Every structure is written in C-alpha cells, then in structure tokens.
A and B are shown apart, each in its own frame.
Chain A
C-alpha cells in the first residue's frame, strides 16, 4: 500500500513536472503536426533547387539581378507545369487554413492584424505560380505568432501574405512557388 502510494506520488510529480516543463518550453516547435505532405513537397522542391546555382555576395547589383533572373528561369524550366496546389496540396491546405484563421481570430487577433497592416499590405496583385513577385512592391510582414505555428522552411523559401492570399515564395528567385488563394479571412 505504501509502495503504491509512493508510486502514485511519483507519478503525480512526473505529471506536474512535465506540465511545468511544457509551460516553460519555447513556443518554437521544430515541426508542428499535420503538415507531413507539405514538408515532403518542400523537400522535393529543394532537391530541384539544389541543382541550381546560388546567389553570391558582390558589389555589383547587375550580377545579383542577372543571377536572380537566371535562377527564376531555371526553376520555371524545371517545373513547367507547376500550378496552385502542387505544394499546398488539398491534403495540407485545410491545415494551413485552420492555423491561419485561428491565428487571425484568436485572442491576439487585433495585434496580428495590426502587424499585417503595418507591413503596408499589398492589395490587388494577381499571382501566378512560377510568376515573379513584383519588384517594386513591399514584401509584407508575416506575423511572427503565425510563423511559430507553421512548418519551418528551408533558407531559400518564405511564407508571404499578398492581399488575402497565402504565398510560398522562393526568396532568391523572387518567384511564387505556390499559393492558397483567399486564405486570409
């Protein structure tokens, strides 16, 4: 009986300590669940991307622009039939929508929306997969509390918000890799 009591106390202690640890653990999860399909597609894209040249540091802006354009052309050639939903597949897109909408409707919604507004959001831009993100437009601010709940991306990729669309962008090529139209409520 005494042993049983001791075991129960120990179990309670473990539960309490785990709860404390969970409360203190950083919000920054390595990979949130529910995005396996997306992660796989991103890895496939990065395989293709690794075969292409990288940007390099230089004082010559013409070289940076030329390299950017040639990387973009090479990506278009490698994915000639790319279309919306290739990476944000029908399997994972609902999970993205759920996370985006709950972030924008949660207790911090006002602050999150203010972050998007402060980034001088881009409106009325018609996006196409493999299309260039227009050079003169601001790149928009993605709320960090949203980023904390989404799968991590490799270095050359970033999430963007353009109008109400949620975009996966190749940052070096300034190319739209995929997007979910009307994702933002």
Chain B
C-alpha cells in the first residue's frame, strides 16, 4: 500500500512537472498569426504519435490555426494505408480542432502528395499563401528548376505583406552532422531571399532542432525531428543559436505585428527553446 502511494505520488509529481514543462511562453496576442512547424515526421511510429499528442495538448493553451510541414511527410510506402498511419491518424484530432496542414515536399515524399487535399498544396509542388500580414512560400527544394525560381522571384516581388517566410526541406544553414548546410541551394536561394526581404526560413532534413543565428539578417530554423531523430547529431557550430537533438520536437510560432515569438517543445513536453525577435527592416519597437 505504501509502495502504491509512493508510486502515485511520483506519478503525480511527474505529471505536474510535465505540465510545468509545457507552459506556454508565447504571448497569445489578439489577432496574431499562430502556427506549428513540423518536419521529417511521417514514420507512422510511436514517437510521431507522441509529438502529435503534445501538439494537441499545446493547441489547448495556444490555439494555432495551421501547421506547416517541412517535408518527408510520408516515409516509405505511399499506399492509402500508409497515408492513414503516417498522417491522417496522428493528426486527426488536430484537424478535427480546425488545424490546417500546409506541406512542402522532402526527398522521401512522392510529388503526387501535392494532390492530397490534406496537404493544401492545390496540386502544386511549390505554392504560396497568406495569413494576416504574413506571406508563406512553400518550395520544392529537391527540384529547384528555373521555372520554380522564376515563380518564386515573381511571387516575392509581388508579395505585399510585412512578413515573408519560406519553408522547404533542405536547410541552407545547418549544424546537423549527417547532412549539414545545403550550400548549393544557398547559392541559388539566398540572393533571392536577400533581394526581396525574406525574414524567416524553416527547413527540415537534418533530424534535429536548430535555431541558427541570423545569417545576413535572415532567421533560419531547422525542425527535422518531429518523427525521425538523429540522437546527438547536432554538432553545434558558430552559427548555432540554440539546438536540441536528444528527442523529437515541434515548433510553435506566433506573429503579432512586427514581432515573432517562437517556442520549441520536445516529445515529452519540455520547452527546449523559446524567444522572440522584431521583424528585420521594420521600425524599432516603441519603448
């Protein structure tokens, strides 16, 4: 009996710690743009489901409207059963709560995923959409052909919003030991990002979480551990602002006016990184 009481006490303590760990640091301002970021998740295995569960719990404290997917949405087979196991079932509670998913394609994805309405790609392997004062650009970094680059340049030039955010699979800056920075893609994309004032870039591919110090004024995040994980694979370098490679994770973002806040949460609900920054190029915040 005494042992049982002790066990219950320990379990309740764990639960309390868990709730504390998943406390929201995001400001939850009225009218803000709120979204989650997941990458390299489509394994269909338990850790993916556990991250999805943490996202659902977090959604109750921080009601985000949509999630962006950084590729490798469906690993391995792409049968109807695979799609159910690797996407529909784990994220169904979030979709039932009204969360929309916007996918980009990774090297393990089939380009025909763009036809799946769950992914909101409207049949395109690269596309853009707007939410409030934020313009999102989903790119297909496996196949950056001249047609896509022309499209991106035109879209960026015509985007009238304050924030311009690009998301795609391969990171331009990464301290992941397995893949690292995609320097060739950087040669092609970075000049466009700088020319047209992209402020934030989200990528996956390296199965870790990393926030990179601003590079030429652009903020880069890698979130490639929402299902897969390469434990201990983050070799922190001079570009690393923060990182986490001990467990799976997801990222929650809030944009209110010229301020962006972020919170990275692990599979066990621990906040592994958080903070905020002012939009580069915007007037400084009033004191």
Contact = CB atoms under 8 A, between A and B. Distances in A.
Contacts of B123: 55-57
Q: Which of B142, B182, B184 has most A Cβ within 10 Å?
A: B184
A95 interface: no
A119 to B, nearest CB: 5
A118 B179 contact: yes
B210 interface: no
B83 to A, nearest CB: 4
Majority SS of interface residues in chain A?
Answer: loop
B149 A57 contact: no
A174 to B, nearest CB: 7
Contacts of B29: none
A12 interface: no
Interface in B78-129: 78-80, 82-84, 107-112, 115-118, 122-123
Contacts of B109: 139
Interface stretch (A3-11, A40-48, A59-67): A59-67
Contacts of A83: none
Contacts of A112: 184
A114 B187 contact: no
A3 to B, nearest CB: 42
Contacts of B80: 60-62, 65
Nearest to A150: B145
A108 B112 contact: no
Nearest to A116: B184
Contacts of A147: 143-146
Q: Which of B78, B79, B123, B145 has the most CB atoms of chain A within a 10 A radius of its CB?
A: B145
Nearest to A151: B146
A55 B144 contact: no
A140 B107 contact: yes
A152 B112 contact: no
Contacts of A115: 182, 184-185
B116 A64 contact: yes
B205 to A, nearest CB: 7
Interface of A: 28-29, 55-62, 64-65, 68, 108, 111-112, 114-115, 118-120, 135-136, 138-145, 147-148, 152-153, 158, 171-172, 174
30 contacts: A28-B146, A29-B146, A56-B123, A57-B116, A59-B118, A61-B116, A65-B79, A108-B187, A111-B183, A112-B184, A115-B184, A118-B182, A118-B205, A119-B107, A135-B77, A135-B110, A136-B76, A138-B107, A139-B108, A139-B109, A140-B107, A142-B142, A142-B143, A145-B184, A145-B187, A152-B145, A152-B146, A158-B145, A171-B111, A174-B110
